[in-house]
Structure 1
Amino acid sequence: MPLSPEQQSEIDAQRAETRPTRRVVSEGMEGHLYTAYPVLDHGFVRVVDYMGDDAAITQAARVSYGKGTKSVQNDEGLIRYLMRHWHSTPFEMCEVKLHVKLPVFVARQWIRHRTANVNEYSARYSILDREFYIPAPEHLAAQSVVNNQGRGEALEGEEAERVLRYLRDDAMRAYDHYEEMIGQDGQQGLARELARMNLPANIYTQWYWKVDLHNLLHFLRLRADAHAQYEIRVYAEELCKIVADWVPFAYKAFEDYRMGGATLSSGALDCVRRMIKGEEVTQENSGMSKGEWREFEAALKG
């Protein structure tokens, strides 16, 4: 389970506390504070703290003395303009601090986004829990035959059962040896910083991850995409729900211009203009490679 009864009790106590503040608050985000949302079999995401809201973005853009709000319509229009024209700095005025529990192999993908402040649970000082990510059977897939970093069809029957058995047995055996190496009666015990190297990449770790909105949206654009690996995508999808409540104007603009939009090269844009004029455009007369043409057709067809 993602949280023990003691951990849930600690979170409940945090949620029960309220304090008066002069800070700008987002009512949508207030509802998410401290709540741990389950992800995968033992993971979770929870908001520990945040700064700013939609008005903080427009305040920074206008460099105003107050909240920066002229009207709701003006604020939404300005945010959409900023997003549309890639003016990123105002979005950096909002920040969020997250507590995330995730498998180590997902953390190693996640950490490639080097635009955040991270503090990870230390296995040099503490003993990791016996918790491993074991995929649900429907997520056990073969290697894709068309994509070197993707999955193909799901494994079935005896093969799927064998793979699941290996994953469970190997993880448990590695943890048994980890515990034995750390200390046994009459033995000195191996240092924790060395014993941890025998643990598999599907063991769970935890960290605090603090990031500004601009870089968080970049993370979501890549990791909430349908082509992202499932195990990190489900974390991104949970974060999308939180961000949509935190900064609804900014998130809607992000959905429209980043997640749902498409970037066209000058050559592709020229092809669109030719099509509008009634000209028949094919891959052969487009000036694009076959790969570019496939992506161009996919963008037009939606």
Structure 2
Amino acid sequence: MEICFRSGVTVELVKHAASDADVIWAARVSTKGESSLADVEADPERSRGLINFLMRDRHGTPFEHSTLTFYVRAPIFVFREFMRHRTFSYNEESGRYRELEPEFYVPAPERKLVQVGKPGRYDFVEGTPEQHALVTEATKEAYRQAYGAYRRMLDAGIAREVARTVLPVGLYSSMYATCNARALMNFLSLRTRREDAAFPSFPQREIEMVAERMEREWAAVMPLTHAAFEANRRVAP
């Protein structure tokens, strides 16, 4: 099988039960009781102020009454960071039960390569053409050797769960990740870098690429909640 090199990620919102109205009826049960069920189909635009109030004062539980399931295909090292977020549910493809496809991550030319500054406040700057050439050449060569060893073991009858041990974290994997809107906002506050955020974050670029695509999908289904998140400087309630 021919080895594939790529520098992007794939993110799809495959199913959801999420809308701004979910926030409204969940919040109003505290004052209206069972009559809040009448708000299940409420016009969220008429309650924009309520959503902003909940976000601003960090009344977070009404944002938990939604679910979003994303399909993500990205390098394994991205998933290892992603799974630090324990408020998601995950199911990932298994190298024990299927032969892993030879698809590997190589940083794109625009990926900044050189780290400057102190941990926690460091930044990245552009690499030289020579540095980019070195990264591209070295990663591709390492991937070819690793996948060649993997294939040789499989062809010799070695179990997949043993053969996979030689594969690097630059290999692409796939998973489903399910969360509610509150958990997603917490993820986005940490895994995107915005100058206007109340609490600056410095995520690795590759997981930020995933987060940016997840945010676009979420903003389309819960636009008022997303706008309130932005207006309140991206602080998760």
- Structure 2 matches for 1:111-260, cutoff 5 A? 111-147=83-119, 150-183=122-155, 187=156, 189-226=157-194, 227-259=202-234
Query: Which residue of structure 1 aligns with residue 32 of structure 2?
Result: none
**Alpha-carbon offset, residue 156 of structure 1:** 1.2
Structure number with larger C-alpha Rg: 1
1:61 aligns with 2:61: no
* CA 1:198–1:149: 2 relative to 1, 3 Å: farther
Aligned residue type for 1:43: V
Please, what TM-score do these two structures have when normalized by structure 2? Answer: 0.85
* CA 1:72–1:96: 2 relative to 1, 3 Å: closer
Q: For the Cα contact (< 8 Å) 1:45–1:98, is it kept in 2?
A: yes
C-alpha distance in 2, partners of 1:218/1:148? 18
Aligned residue type for 2:165: M
**3-state SS of paired residue (1:132):** strand
**Alpha-carbon offset, residue 150 of structure 1:** 4.4
How far does the alpha carbon of each residue in 1:188-213 deviate from its partner, in whole angstroms, 9 at most, with x for none?
A: x2111111111011100000111011
1:107 aligns with 2:79: yes
Aligned residue type for 2:223: P
C-alpha distance in 1, partners of 2:82/2:233? 20
- Structure 2 matches for 1:278-289, cutoff 5 A? none
C-alpha distance in 1, partners of 2:207/2:119? 18
**Alpha-carbon offset, residue 256 of structure 1:** 1.0
Aligned residue type for 1:203: L
**3-state SS of paired residue (1:122):** coil
Flag the structure with more relative contact order, 1 or 2, with Cα contacts below 8 A and sequence separation at least 6: 2
Aligned residue type for 1:131: E
C-alpha distance in 2, partners of 1:81/1:69? 20
Q: For the Cα contact (< 8 Å) 1:150–1:229, is it kept in 2?
A: no
- Unpaired runs of 5+ residues, structure 2, are 1-5, 30-35, 195-201
Size of the alignment, in residue pairs?
217
**Alpha-carbon offset, residue 74 of structure 1:** 4.0
* CA 1:201–1:151: 2 relative to 1, 3 Å: farther
**Alpha-carbon offset, residue 145 of structure 1:** 3.4
Q: For the Cα contact (< 8 Å) 2:112–2:124, is it kept in 1?
A: no
C-alpha distance in 1, partners of 2:131/2:184? 39
How far does the alpha carbon of each residue in 1:144-198 deviate from its partner, in whole angstroms, 9 at most, with x for none?
A: 2333684532221333312210011101110111011112xxx3x2111111111
Please, what TM-score do these two structures have when normalized by structure 1? Answer: 0.67
1:82 aligns with 2:54: yes
**Alpha-carbon offset, residue 101 of structure 1:** 0.4
* CA 1:137–1:149: 2 relative to 1, 3 Å: farther
Q: For the Cα contact (< 8 Å) 2:21–2:42, is it kept in 1?
A: no
* CA 1:170–1:118: 2 relative to 1, 3 Å: same
Query: Which residue of structure 1 aligns with residue 17 of structure 2?
Result: 51
Aligned residue type for 2:37: Y
